Structure 1
Amino acid sequence: MPIEPLRALSLAELRQRRSAKWRSYPDDVIPLFVAETDYPLAPAISAALHEAVSRGDTGYTPADPGVAAAYSAFAARRLGWCPDPDRMRITGDVIMGVVEILRRVIVPGDRVVITPPVYPPFFEAVPEAGGVAQSVPLRDTGDGWELDLEGIEDAFREGARAVLLCNPHNPTGTIHSAGALRTLAELAVRYRAVVVSDEIHAPLPRAGNIVTPFLSVSDAAARCGYAVVSASKAFNLAGLKCAIMVAADDRTHAILRSLPDEVSWRTGLFGALATVAALSPESDPWLDAQAVAIDANADLLRTLLLTHLPYAGFRPPEAGYLGWVDLSACGWGDAPARRILREARVAVHSGPAFGAGGAGHIRLTLGCAPEVLTEAIERIAVLV
């Protein structure tokens, strides 16, 4: 039986929200710049949070709020991977986890490979951890993007000590292949480097696609790698603060155990409660319905661009709900988001913020109502 797509809330309802998406710009701006979605919460999450409020359950987060066990079961059910909950630690968000792990596995001044165009906070997380970001851009194959494994090996050979991986990749929506991940792990082991994999978008592959968790691909990946995961993107829980650091080997688990208690204390209790509810089987139908809605919007964006902005370049994401659009041919400069905001009153994320390969691009969020996406592209098209 076909799954009915999740319906986004109305603009009137959304403008009552107080999150960054709805408080950063005036009401005449359509906000598509940040990775927040416009759908109602999954019922299991709403129920868990309402119950906590009714009990006045607003204290400190316990050492074991059930998040690790919930993620292990979710990964087995949805990703075909069975990580050990005893090899996990919780923290406030993915970038917190990335920084804390990097602080333990590099020394100040070590180079850490990032693969632009990539999530802008990566450029800040590496120096926060004491490292120096070294860009090895993705390769554009003409049909999609892939890791430049030769470039990463060159960086290792020249002394880089770690890779900060984005899997699936933000902003392109690329799912890195199992073969590429295995090769990356082998290279890291050979050069005694570490891979930290941000897998926050893994719960949302497009129909027919499979996300491969980095730690699952081989013994080498387990030896050299860490994953940092969260329900925050797939279930729109970023403000509640909960993420999970995952190890798959005794040595890497020892690194997680060595982190200060404060790293886990940063987890919000509501974040933990919401995460357990989100990762439960009860929320699977909601997640499936959201995936159908996002899938339809990715196809809609492609159609809208062909109709209204035929010179734009766009490849639908393989996972996640982000659209990476090349507007270079429109002649709007390296940062077209500025003109789009000023003249079309649509807020999108500026491509240059994502590093090499971002000039002339914008990133927009597909987790919205189809009519909102349609109006946004029609507004932008008037500028041509």
Structure 2
Amino acid sequence: MTTQKSHKLLMIPGPIEFEPAVLAALAEPTPSHVAPDFIEVFGRVLDNLRTVFQAPDGQPFVLAGSGTLAMEAAVANLLEAGDRVLQINTGYFSDRMAAICERSGAIITQVRAPAIGDVPALEEIQMALQQDHYTLMTITHVDTSTGVLTDVQTLAQMARSAHTLSVVDGVCSVGGEALPMAEWDVDVALTASQKALGVPPGLAIVMARPRALALFQGRTQPVASYYADWSNWLPIMQAYQSRKPAYFGTPPVNLVLALDVSLAQIIAEGMDARVARHIRLSEAVKAALTALGLGQAPARPAVAAHTLSAPYFPEGVDGAALLAKINAAGVVLAGGLHPAIRARYFRIGHMGAVSGADILAAVSAIEQGLRDVGYQFDAGSGLAAAQRVIEG
């Protein structure tokens, strides 16, 4: 995408840079949430979400809130006190999902990665599935704290074989990583607007497929969260899908208008092409980091996300000073988040409408920042490595 010269390039793992047409939708006169034109837009958004999630049999929920609300709405409606959850833990946001499940009274078994930047062994997960029955397996597709990508396809198959529902936290993956819900037999996936879907913060989005809805409809106790309760939202979503007015809580209408624009752009690009673009640009960033001598938090390329990169600061370099220098060069990057390594690494977001030009601008700023803090490297080596991948 082309960014305005009046602001610094935002290359963090969300919020991201947004397309001008998406931002323009936010400036539209705010319509009534029951106006016929808006009802048509919201209905189209719900239809198009099925396309983006690749879940033709899915039921989308679009709520005003953050990704954390999406996480809670995904599991609070499916869990009752005493239910068991198998948590596939790859970092900070896996810990958060476990905490959310515990609030619903669930009993959590965590299978943790052997080290930060890695994923749990499939054999260990299989053993856990054989030792108990779990209502849900919760999976963080991309943990934004570590840049680790989990093999959702394999894990969803394992869950299905064990008669366990799979819930995928796709906050940092949906719209950037491959996640064909129906093909992979994922039961629930969730995301937030400000990541690869390319809409400013404020929308929590959940897609639930038939087995999840059946489990919800068979509950014996009310959902503990009033706001997140699908009982309140399902009639609203169904009404908008039928192009009829309905009310439970006022939707963030301008954000829905913006989501309508972004989803149309995503579908026009095509899901396969969009994922391929994210892979190519991710490989360009990672090639640059390698050329510059920077290690990365993911243990190996096979478990590295394509929506962000998580490089370590060079030995002896003050991380805060480096990020400040990169910022002064016109690019905003994110510091570390995982508590165990927070001060040792930083994060580069590259998702949504990001372009090859954005990647090169970011790499150039990183090189400038490294020079300014006295790090020794071959000038231009990162840019050259990124350029080779982009031009591939």
> TM class, shorter-chain normalised?
0.5 to 0.7
Q: Give 1:348's aligned residue.
A: 334
TM-score normalised by the chain length of structure 1: 0.65
CA contact under 8 A between 1:162 and 1:195: conserved in structure 2? yes
**How far apart, CA to CA, are the structure 1 residues paired with 2:281 and 2:370?**
17
- Please state whether the residue corresponding to 1:244 is helix, strand or coil: strand
* 2:199 aligned to which of 237, 240, 251: 237
Larger displacement relative to structure 2 (93-102 or 344-353): 344-353
* 2:63 aligned to which of 91, 115, 119: 91
- C-alpha root-mean-square deviation of aligned residues, in Å? 4.5
Consecutive unaligned residues of structure 1, counting only runs of 5 or more, are 1-5, 15-29
Verify: 1:226 aligned to 2:194, yes or no: no
CA contact under 8 A between 1:61 and 1:265: conserved in structure 2? no
**How far apart, CA to CA, are the structure 1 residues paired with 2:338 and 2:307?**
20
CA contact under 8 A between 2:140 and 2:150: conserved in structure 1? no
**How far apart, CA to CA, are the structure 1 residues paired with 2:120 and 2:253?**
37
Larger displacement relative to structure 2 (315-324 or 225-234): 315-324
Verify: 1:247 aligned to 2:209, yes or no: yes
Verify: 1:323 aligned to 2:290, yes or no: no
Consecutive unaligned residues of structure 2, counting only runs of 5 or more, are 235-247, 376-392
Q: Give 2:76's aligned residue.
A: 103
Q: Give 1:278's aligned residue.
A: 262
Q: Superposed, which structure 2 residues align to 1:1-384 within 5 Å?
A: 6-10=1-5, 12-14=6-8, 32-41=11-20, 43=21, 45-46=22-23, 48-50=25-27, 52-53=28-29, 56-57=30-31, 67=42, 70-73=45-48, 75-76=50-51, 81-84=55-58, 87-92=59-64, 93-108=66-81, 113-119=87-93, 121-122=96-97, 125-131=100-106, 134-138=109-113, 148-156=121-129, 157=131, 161-168=135-142, 170=144, 171-172=146-147, 174=149, 176=151, 178-187=153-162, 189=163, 193-200=164-171, 201-205=173-177, 210-213=178-181, 215-218=182-185, 221=186, 225-249=187-211, 251-252=214-215, 254=217, 259-261=230-232, 265=249, 267-280=251-264, 284-285=268-269, 297-312=281-296, 315=301, 320-327=306-313, 330=315, 340-341=322-323, 347-353=333-339, 360-367=344-351, 369=358, 370-380=360-370, 382=373, 384=375
CA contact under 8 A between 1:228 and 1:244: conserved in structure 2? yes
**How far apart, CA to CA, are the structure 2 residues paired with 1:276 and 1:38?**
17
Aligned residues: 332
1:159 to partner: Cα distance? 6.9
CA contact under 8 A between 1:74 and 1:280: conserved in structure 2? no
The change in CA–CA distance for 1:310 and 1:13 in structure 2 (over 3 A counts) is closer
CA contact under 8 A between 2:88 and 2:120: conserved in structure 1? no
**How far apart, CA to CA, are the structure 1 residues paired with 2:166 and 2:92?**
16
TM-score normalised by the chain length of structure 2: 0.64
The change in CA–CA distance for 1:312 and 1:319 in structure 2 (over 3 A counts) is closer
Larger displacement relative to structure 2 (244-253 or 168-177): 168-177
CA contact under 8 A between 1:113 and 1:135: conserved in structure 2? yes
The change in CA–CA distance for 1:242 and 1:325 in structure 2 (over 3 A counts) is same
CA contact under 8 A between 1:304 and 1:377: conserved in structure 2? no
**How far apart, CA to CA, are the structure 2 residues paired with 1:324 and 1:61?**
44
The change in CA–CA distance for 1:372 and 1:111 in structure 2 (over 3 A counts) is same
